[in-house]
Amino acid sequence: MIHSTAVIHSTAQIGEGCEIGPYCVVEEHAVLGAGCKLRSHVVIGGHTVLGRENEIFPFACLGQKTQDLKWKGGTTWLRVGDRNTFREYVTIHRATNDGEATVVGSHNTILAYCHIAHDCRVGSHVIMSNVGTLAGHVTVEDHAIVGGLAAVHQFCRIGKMAIIGGCSKVVQDVPPFMLADGNPAETRTLNKVGLERNGISEEAQAALKSAYKILFRDGLTVSNALVKIEAELPPLPEILHLAQFVRSSERGISK
């Protein structure tokens, strides 16, 4: 299942049942888990570890050297989980500092021309639409959606089940369960459709709607809004996660 034109380094590890198409390159110390499919013209950089059953489409390039000019050498990594789809021309770079890794979870769908920069942390069940771009050190939590042509600034965080509208410019953290849109992006409303699709209970949806109003509509400071949320709303897992995310924000939240 390895095409005759593919170039595979002798130190690369190729799992059982992998399919490697025409003109693919797998560099030294790369690891492909069982059942991975490299369609054609795919480049897997050195020190890239892929889990099982990842599908990678033509001209994608995973695990090349960071673009960060602070890189001083050493061994850096890209670590990817299982059953991800990386469409055409996707680029994902290794971390910057020796021994560190860019990490992508499992069951993600990363569409054409998306970029995930050095030191990012992308969870699982994430969707990035075409030409979505993550700068360095960005964190994307599980079940988030990044719209097409959206750009996320360095060190920002995208919360669980949040959605970013297409062509948005994200310069601050997007809280979990929310919809953000614009240039710069602002939190517009609760991501109701996303909550329903992910099976969030009606009780939790109602509580999150109240939390949204307290955070973004009552004119309170963030610290006072958090006090009110924790005092007045039930301690559901979704409310606790939202409060913890907002409290730990270093760049501030998109308001």
Residues 38 and 115 in one domain: yes
pLDDT of residue 198: 97
pLDDT of residue 246: 98
Residues 109 and 227 in one domain: no
Q: Tell me whether residue 110 is in a domain.
A: yes
Clarify whether 118 is annotated catalytic: yes
In the structure, what pLDDT confidence band is assigned to residue 17 with cuts at 50, 70 and 90? very high
Selecting among 46, 136, 148, 194, the annotated active-site residue is 136
Q: Pick from 109, 137, 165: which residue ends a domain?
A: 137
In the structure, what pLDDT confidence band is assigned to residue 120 with cuts at 50, 70 and 90? very high
- 183 φ, ψ (degrees, to nearest 5): -135, 100
In the structure, what pLDDT confidence band is assigned to residue 182 with cuts at 50, 70 and 90? very high
pLDDT of residue 207: 98
In sequence order, the 6+-apart residues with CB closer than 8 A to the CB of 148 are 111, 129, 130, 131, 132, 166, 167
The structural domain count of the chain equals 2
Which tens digit of pLDDT belongs to each residue from 60-107? 999 999 999 999 999 999 999 999 999 999 999 999 999 999 999 999
- 205 φ, ψ (degrees, to nearest 5): -65, -40
Selecting among 118, 137, 143, 153, the annotated active-site residue is 118
Which tens digit of pLDDT belongs to each residue from 204-231? 999 999 999 999 999 999 999 999 999 9
Range of the domain at 25: 7-137
Helices (H), 131-236: 192-197, 202-216, 222-232
Which tens digit of pLDDT belongs to each residue from 67-80? 999 999 999 999 99
Q: Tell me whether residue 122 is in a domain.
A: yes
pTM: 0.97
Selecting among 41, 45, 63, 119, the annotated active-site residue is 119
Tally of helices (H runs) and strands (E runs) in the chain: 4, 27
Tokens of residue 193, six digits = 């459709």
pLDDT of residue 115: 98
The CATH code of the domain that includes 57 is: 2.160.10.10
State how far the Cα of 81 lies from the Cα of 95, in Å rounded to an integer: 16
Residue type, 104: V
Residues 205 and 118 in one domain: no
In the structure, what pLDDT confidence band is assigned to residue 189 with cuts at 50, 70 and 90? very high
Long-range contact pairs involving 54-58 (C-beta distance under 8 Å, separation at least 24): 54/80, 54/82, 54/83, 54/84, 54/85, 54/86, 55/84, 55/85, 55/86, 56/86, 56/90, 57/85, 57/86, 57/87, 57/88, 57/90, 57/112, 58/88
Average of per-residue pLDDT values in the chain: 98
pLDDT of residue 202: 98
Residues 123 and 208 in one domain: no
The CATH code of the domain that includes 225 is: 1.20.1180.10
In percent, the amount of the chain with pLDDT more than 90 equals: 99
Q: Tell me whether residue 180 is in a domain.
A: no
Maximum Cα–Cα distance for the chain, whole Å? 65
Helices (H), the chain: 192-197, 202-216, 222-232, 237-247
pLDDT of residue 98: 97
Clarify whether 165 is annotated catalytic: no
Clarify whether 115 is annotated catalytic: no
pLDDT of residue 107: 98
In percent, the amount of the chain with pLDDT more than 70 equals: 100
C-beta separation of 180 from 168 below 8 A: yes
